[in-house]
Amino acid sequence: MVRTGQRLLHSLLLLAGVSLFSFVLLSVAPGNFFDELRLNPQISPQTVASLEQQYGVNRSFPVRYAHWLGSIANGSLGYSLLYRCDVGSLILPRARNTLVLTTAATLFAWILALLWGILEALHRGKWLDRLGGACTSLLLAIPDLLLGLILLALAARVTRLPAFGDGLGGAFGSPPAANAGLVSHLFLPVLALTLSVLPVLVRHVRSAMIAALDAPFVQAAHAHGIPAWRVLLRHALPAALNSLLSLLGFSIGGLLSMSLLTEVILGWPGLGPLVLEAMFARDTYVVMAAVMLSAVFLIFGNLVADLFLYWNDPRIRVVSA
């Protein structure tokens, strides 16, 4: 209990550090949102200056940071100059879209990886294992970007799935209606994301399973004449779960940040296109909110991983007590 409290406090401090660090990074960046207006000869420098004054973009760093902290307290998370609304109301639906996508993909990837990894571990060194190994190597070598593009091309050529127009056009896309064709719109991004996280998971499952199957207690269980499937499910799998649980924590941690590129390429209206656009337009608070949300998830994921481990492995409890 004390340990959990300490971890929570540590996480909060880390979060504060992350916010300060990213705020500094974004403040150091040259220029601001109104730079584009300056290039327009019909807008006088005084107008731009008064706009800057009105939105407080050139106030001193501590003032802006304090202001931003205050905006967290009231839930608005700052003001988006690009969209002319509170960042909170802008970013939450987008984050929800991202979560729909990543949760589905993570779920599929884990189910597939568990089956595939265990199968490979059982057939270690045989052709099935080699084939699976070759597949994971290939998938691992294909960058997310390319995977998205290939799937997009396939979808456009072969199937009637919505491919969302091309390239970065999705930046302005509106969320798909909840009932009409959500699944068909989800299919492509989920597939791309699943395939991109799958190989790493499969490798971990395989090596964890192999280590567990080689353990003396599994051999002992076999010697006792316990049926093979029971040895697998009751003896080897729980032992292998130990290292996989921390991986699951990382998976949970990455839920908000793993899909940025895939979303941009496949035009899924999640955080990805929004953040990229805000980055180009120097819409600071949108970027800040997205970074902070993702950081919260990452830190929370690590925390969950620790707690899982604590819960699953009695040995750790003994050491820390």
Partner 1 sequence: MSRGMHGRLRRALWLVPLAAVHLALLFPGFFAPYDFAEQNRDFPFVAPTRLHCVDAAGAFHLRPFVYALKTDDVSSVVQEDTSRIFPLRFFITGSRYSVLGHWHARLHLFGVERPGRLWLFGTDDFGRDVFSRMLFGGRISVCAGILGAAIALFAGASLGVLAGFYGRGTDAALMRLVELFLALPWLYLLLAVRAILPLRIRTIDAFLLLVAVTGLIGWARPARLVRGMVLSARERGFVLAARSMCASDWHILRRHILPQTYATLLTIAVLLVPQFILAEVTLSFLGLGVSEPIPSWGNLLAQLQSYRVLTSYWWMYLPAATLVMLFLLYHRASSALEKRATQVSV
Using CB under 8 A, list all residues that contact partner 1: 14-15, 17-18, 21-22, 25-26, 28-31, 137-138, 140-143, 145-146, 149-150, 152-153, 156-157, 165-168, 254, 256-257, 260-261, 264, 275-276, 279-280, 282, 287, 290-291, 294-295, 298-299
Structure tokens at 278: 């805000």
- List all residues 6 or more positions away from 170 whose beta carbon is below 8 Å from its beta carbon: 164, 263, 264, 266, 267, 268, 269, 273
| CB nearer partner 1, residue 145 or residue 248 | 145
**Whole-number Å distance between alpha carbons of 192 and 161:** 14
- Choice between 175 and 254, CB closer to partner 1: 254
What is the C-alpha to C-alpha distance for residues 248 and 100, in angstroms, rounded to an integer?
Answer: 17
- In the complex, the smallest distance separating the C-beta of residue 165 from partner 1, rounded to whole angstroms, is 7
Min dist CB 28 to partner 1, Å, is: 5
Shortest Cβ 156–partner 1 spacing (Å): 5
- Structure-token match 């006088």, residue found: 44
Angle (CA) 141 108 262, round 5° = 50
Longest dimension (CA), the chain: 87
Q: With beta carbons less than 8 A apart as the criterion, state whether 94 and 172 touch.
A: no
What is the smallest separation between the CB atom of 160 and partner 1, expressed in angstroms? 14
| CB-nearer residue toward partner 1: 25 or 85 | 25
* Minimum distance of partner 1 from residue 234's CB (angstroms): 30
- Closer to partner 1 by CB, 128 or 150: give it: 150
- Cβ proximity to partner 1: between 88 and 199 the closer is 199
Angle between helices 271-281 and 284-312 (to 10 degrees): 140
